[in-house]
Amino acid sequence: MENKYTKEEVHQATLEYFDGDELATNVWTSKYALRDLEDNYYEKTPDDMHRRLAKEFARIESKYPQPMSEDEIYNLFKDFKYIVPQGSPMSGVGNPFQIQSLSNCFVISSPEDSYGGILYTDQQQVQIMKRRGGVGFDISNIRPRGKTCENAARTTDGIGVFMDRFSNSCREVAQGGRRGALMLSISVHHPQVMDFIKMKQDLTKVTGANVSVRVTDEFMNAVKHGDKYQQRWPVESIAEGGGTPEIEQQVLATDVWNALIECAHNSAEPGVLFWDTAKKMTPADIYTDEGFGSTSTNPCGEIILSPGDSCRLMLVNLVSFVKHPFTKKAEFEWGKYAQTVQKGQRLMDDMIDLEIEQIDKIIAKVDSDPEPDRVKRIEKEMWGFIKDQALRGRRTGLGITGLGDALAMLGV
């Protein structure tokens, strides 16, 4: 590293870069500017960051036919004009000072219905979050409150205490100016779904997680016709051909729907995941037998994933393709947009190679840690599984930004 800068130098230069925008300046300076563990800065403005990213992507591109050059990639990133990498790539690509994942989103397996299974999932989410990833998983496997168990308690407390556990773990994990991000989802067929729906009406509960209900066509048709529907546990017992559920009850669907809508109106949660529709529309679920069946979503619900699967994110900035904005001659450059999307998707695939390099660094770090192997086992196994899923699935997440502004500029 050649040039070192103070925080004040970086702040002033970046403030000029963003035309006096203090919020943008503070966000970039605190989260994405390259700096060492002593808070020495090695990037003065986002332009330096874009150069860093372009160099690393060009290195990967050089391994493939007809590679894009570093300058070509830089011009896609420059001034956030055409392609905008999201947080983890901006902070992690080419960063020699931190060992972190480039993936923004992870889904892990639903916790097994035991203390061992719950603690196993708890450790997995923490290990991912400390490497800057957001995590989602479904808790429908956990038996409902009052169900007998063969330990000293004799019966279970149900989902509530474990939701708080997962939430608290998320809040504990620092990510350099931010906290972890967590999605907890549950099937609308779980017997405790009403408790789940109302959980966050108490503003002191589950403050470190987003929550969403997976609703099915079976449930929505019952709502439409004013019928009862089945709550059951295990929730997949019928779908799996497993015979009679251990717990079954018939509940008026509109009661659940109305509670869901009221709570969402009050506090913006829970979210609603139209699960059957999502699984029909996602291409991944045709590979369920290969381990890519959808089970939950990332913390903001943009993408449903399978256990161990992860996704890296970049956006195409639609505003940059509008010619003659806010005039009667305004038009969208569809040809240029199509070319940029193709290049963006190529960069997304390059980022999988960059992520594999990062995971290898994480695994090497775990190997070198002084703790005994029995302590490191879950962490190491998890990253090995995530690496395998990334290599087999090569999941990419290319999206768009600036849609509302682009429409306004076009006079729509």
Task: Please write the tens of the pLDDT for every residue from 213-226.
Answer: 999 999 999 999 99
In a domain, 319, yes or no: yes
Q: Are residues 212 and 328 in the same domain?
A: no
Q: What is the CATH number of the domain that holds 182?
A: 3.20.70.20
Give the number of domains in the chain. 3
The predicted structure's pLDDT at residue 2: 74
> Average pLDDT for residues 109-129, to the nearest whole number?
95
Q: Are residues 155 and 300 in the same domain?
A: yes
Q: Are residues 271 and 326 in the same domain?
A: no
Q: Are residues 382 and 324 in the same domain?
A: yes
In a domain, 287, yes or no: yes
Single residue among 305, 326, 347 that ends a domain in this structure: 305
163 has pLDDT over 70: yes
- Residue 384 CB coordination number (10 Å): 14
pLDDT tens string 167-214: 999 999 866 666 789 999 999 999 999 999 999 999 999 999 999 999
Q: Percent of the chain having pLDDT more than 90?
A: 88
Length of the chain: 412
Q: Are residues 62 and 36 in the same domain?
A: no
- Whether 73 and 93 have beta carbons less than 8 Å apart is answered as no
The phi and psi torsions of 300 (rounded to 5 degrees) equal -105, 5
Q: Are residues 243 and 379 in the same domain?
A: no
In a domain, 1, yes or no: yes
Q: Are residues 192 and 336 in the same domain?
A: no
Measured distance CA(254)–CA(262) in Å, rounded = 12
Alpha carbon of 289 to those of 214, 243, 292, 293, 306: distances in Å?
Answer: 21, 22, 7, 7, 11
Model confidence band, residue 150 (pLDDT cutoffs 50, 70, 90): low
Q: Are residues 161 and 252 in the same domain?
A: yes
In a domain, 104, yes or no: no
Q: How many CA atoms lie within 13 A of 99 on its CB side?
A: 12
Residue 39's domain comprises 1-44
In 368-382, which positions are buried (b, 16+ CB within 10 angstroms) versus exposed (e)? Answer: eeeeeeeeeeebbeb
The predicted structure's pLDDT at residue 3: 87
Phi-psi region for residue 10, left (φ > 0), alpha (ψ -120 to 50) or beta? alpha
In a domain, 180, yes or no: yes
241 has pLDDT over 70: no
Model confidence band, residue 156 (pLDDT cutoffs 50, 70, 90): confident
Alpha carbon of 288 to those of 282, 283, 293, 331: distances in Å?
Answer: 11, 10, 4, 42
